[in-house]
Amino acid sequence: MPRPHSLSTHYPTAFLTGASSGIGCAIAEMLLAENVRVWGTARDIARLAPLVEKHPALFIPVALDLDNSDAAQAAFETASAEAAPGASSPSFDIVINNAGYGVFAPFADADFSLWKTQLDGMLITTTRLAHAAFRAMQACNRGCLVNVSSLAVDFSLPYMSGYNIAKAGLSALSASLAFEARGTGVCVIDFRPGDYRTAFNRAMQIPRANDSVCVASVWRTIDSQFNTAPLPARAASDLRRALLRGRSGTVRSGSFFQARLAPLVARLLPARLLRALEARYFGSP
């Protein structure tokens, strides 16, 4: 039975990329508990079997690889038509662009092809999905588009330049669309999680051993902070509240230090001081 004030009253259907793990999986569980029908993606749909088995009537697995942009858009269009059969402009009630991964390397050390692949997938394909979703939502004047960005937009992550660019770009896209959605029934959420304990660091692409003392020390700090970070159910619960509010804007999620204090400090401090503080925070000698 749907709970009173449950999300499914406002949003019966959702499309969610990267539902197989971490924050995406926690968001899928949160939506399914609210009786929302979820089309959730992974590159290999076998990874979605636990969600299918647990919620056979509500969860529909979709194969989607950000690295194949044409196929990703086609998968989204097919799922939209399934979710709203017969509609002239089929639209999901919620679309969440969550899928993503990190590449950890000094910018000049990694081949440019690695950064290009990351930007093509995480920024261009994601923007393409946002375009398809936003266009359909505008046509029926309702819906909520969520782009999962990162607190890396407030505080850039060292040796993750491609990731920082992709997330800054996504947040800029959300700001642009939030402006365009003013006065309509569509809302756009720029969701910025801080550290959450997921498979993200295990999936991190590290092109070669980091032989520099500085790079190795930063990685140790990032990894140890990650291992004590909150579990992703908290991010899902923050997103649930934002969806129920139904207002466009930026939503930061995570520990008090990362989600509240650090962004405030980042806004107030002069850039030079901020960089020194970042170096200290990340254990850079």
Ligand X SMILES: NC(=O)c1ccc[n+]([C@@H]2O[C@H](COP(=O)([O-])OP(=O)(O)OC[C@H]3O[C@@H](n4cnc5c(N)ncnc54)[C@H](OP(=O)(O)O)[C@@H]3O)[C@@H](O)[C@H]2O)c1
Give the binding site for ligand X (CB under 6 A). Answer: 18, 20-24, 42-43, 47, 64-67, 98-101, 121, 148, 150, 193, 195-196, 198-200, 203
DSSP letter for 22, please.
H
Closer of 23 and 83 to ligand X (Cβ):
23
Q: How far is the CB of 114 from ligand X (least distance, A)?
A: 13
Least distance in angstroms from the C-beta of 68 to ligand X: 8
CB–CB of 37/119 below 8 Å? Answer: no
Beta strands in the chain (DSSP E): 13-16, 37-42, 59-63, 94-97, 143-148, 186-193, 249-253
Closer residue to ligand X (CB): 138 or 195: 195
Query: Which of 159, 236, 205, 201 lies closest to 67, judged by CA?
Result: 205
**Which residue number places its CB atom closest to ligand X?**
22
Q: How far is the CB of 211 from ligand X (least distance, A)?
A: 26
Radius of gyration of the chain (CA): 19
Q: Assess contact for 100 and 122: CB atoms under 8 A.
A: yes
Minimum distance between the CB of residue 125 and ligand X, rounded to whole angstroms?
Answer: 8
Tell me, rounded to whole angstroms, the distance of Cα 85 from its chain centroid.
27
Complex with ligand X: residue 87 or 231, whichever CB lies closer: 231
CB atoms within 10 A of CB 203: 12
Which of 14/64 has CB closer to ligand X?
64
What is the nearest approach in angstroms of ligand X to the Cβ of residue 141?
28
Nearer to ligand X, 32 or 42 (CB): 42
